[in-house]
Structure 1
Amino acid sequence: MNEKSCSFHNEKELRDGQGERVSAGYSPSHDKDNSALVAFKGIPISELKNRGILQALTIEANEWEPAVVSTEVLRAQEEWDAVDTIHPETGIQAGSDQPVQLISFSEALQHFQTVDLSSFKKRIQPTIRRTGLAALRHYLFGPPKLHQGLREERDLVLTIAQCGLDSQDPVHGRVLQTIYKKLTGSKFDCALHGDHWEDLGFQGANPGTDLRGAGFLALLHLLYLVMDSKTLLMAQEIFRLSRHHIQQFPFCLMSVNITHIAIQALREECLSRECNRQQRVIPVVNSFYAATFLHLARVWRTQQKTISDSSFVLKDLEVLAKKSPKRLLKTLEIYLAGVSKGQASLPGPQQCLGPQALHSEDLTFTGLCDLQPHSSEGSWLI
């Protein structure tokens, strides 16, 4: 029985029952507990509304004695209205005509600068611990140490990388909404859990489960990538490459792994020289992340890599990124200058899939976060 016929059937039973009681000399005012609402005891308010029964009761109440039924009906209507104002797992007001406002990288960062992160900060290990010859070699030939005045900013980056996704936090929700809208071009809000996240390259319906090894910093990096007009074009181009009919890869999972590389490069002081030069940490880490992603996309496209190559590509990428961060940053600078002139693009032809053609569950992806530690100088853990 479909919804409409179910509604009609229940309304008919309600009217028939009322008629039988009236013909027998029954008056609803005699006994509140025996009102017509008892017939629907145990049925959720949402189901009543779906079947049209709640509306029918409201209409019929005008013909009954108000003192008996209207109080029950109004109470049920108020209960439904209170429940129906929020979409589950989204935090989006159903009655609002305005979509969730996009959030900038600086606004999201400010949120983390103002909330209490002390419990997360206790977990970080700011630099790699080296012993023996490795420590001596690093001291003699390694990069310079980060300036004292920049260490608090570095620790903030590593602390954010310890934070998970909190779907109850409005700022976290806005970050996800912004990433989704900027990559897909959608103007509509979406649920924070759902299959649509697989279309962006997460493994499942909950993006928070894919942030291991990078934490919320992975989402901040994606936000940074899509909220700058120059890097947005790069992000969209890499996203299209990720949907290539042969060279497809899970875009967001790949991004999480690149954030993981950036975290390790920061901890191993590979970025200290550039941070000291610019007297900033967060912008350098952001640019390093974007430059590394750009290099991966170029290698992936020009060398015709596929998902089966993911672990090898990422390991080679990590070695190169840590060894030559200045070179990567220069490449990004040249690329973005070309974007300003309308000239930059990833080399090589490509074919794109439709927006619903690819799910990450169809891919076998191995990233850095899935690998075991391979060096005595540190582990994959933050």
Structure 2
Amino acid sequence: MIIGLEQYKNKWNIHTDSAILPGLDAITAALEELENPHQTGRFIHLAGTNGKGSTAAFLSAILQAHGRSIGNFYSPCIEDLHDQIQINGTPVSSDELGWAMQQLSVVKTPLTDFELLTAAAFVIFRKQAPDFAIIEAGMGGTLDSTNVIDSEIAIIPSISIDHTNFLGNTIEEIARHKAGIIKKWKPVVVGDLPNEAMNIVREKADRLHSDVILPTKLADSRLGLKGPHQQKNAALALEAAKELLGLEFDEEKAQLGLSSTKLAYRFEKILPGVIFDGAHNKASIDALVETVKEALPDRPIHIVMGIFKDKDYVYALRRLETISDHFTFVNFDNERALPAETLFEESRSKRKTITNLCDILPVKGRKEETIVTGSLYLLTVLRNYADTFFQHYQS
């Protein structure tokens, strides 16, 4: 269930399936009932295992620095479904989303929750008419409900093993899904992919007469998002912006955009001594470890962790244990959540505990940096506690 969606479904008597059902037939039929809002506007499409959100945020900031208005459809949500649909960095209001759901309430085609929200984004973007709409695929690419657009450019930041129950067990199988967002005669900007994945992407691009653009190494740039991996995401965004803006591309404006980029839960300082990072798979855990080494080289680290049971939690623990010997494992209310007791038993840390959600934030004077990670869902729940704690922290 997408956080916050149920209230709109109840209000407008909309019935959807909470399951993940890959395919384009339903979303295509529903959008036709809505007079095809996805056929209006200029779209950028992103698919990949990691880096989509950060690359989209960098690209949004660069284009806005050039005076362009931007719509964003992010996946998944950070705090609730409103931040999945944004105009110029501002989440859609409840009134605006309510208006979109009212339009969708007359659609007869059965949809899933994600298809419903995808359609809502297209309806809102048609009404708001941003200069560009940046669309992040939910899962995969070929059969993802966002893949109904005829995008001007595709971006694939990374490909690694994830969502194997839907996308396959090999890099090649997963790459075929991600490469499905490439459109005929339209360029694709590609990150540092494994050779097996790059071969699949190049084959698909060749069949569609699409140029494959590989970013050059980013010169020393001050980025709004921390971590060495963000240099690669920023380079992807720069190449895409150059393609989209052509002769109007301005290096100084681009650098202004890169330095001002913000994105929730990407090594984000929530409170003094508390950082939230949504790392939840191998590549993002690796990125978090490298970011900690770069940004906090001399600080003792306290890891607070909760994760979904379909993730490689053993790998996550082994990597995080290279930067910390103090772990707190958290149970949280989600059917996909891995029991904190399982993490506790698997952990090799000498300092480890299981605790309640509200007990994880630091007390005044603690010398450690607390990094909360493992699940975006967990971070969303904990943010409410952080807001409450911050009031006491300042008192």
TM-score (norm 2): 0.21
- Please state which structure has a larger fraction of its residues in helix: 1
- Please state which structure has a larger fraction of its residues in strand: 2
TM-score (norm 1): 0.22
Structure having the higher Rg: 1
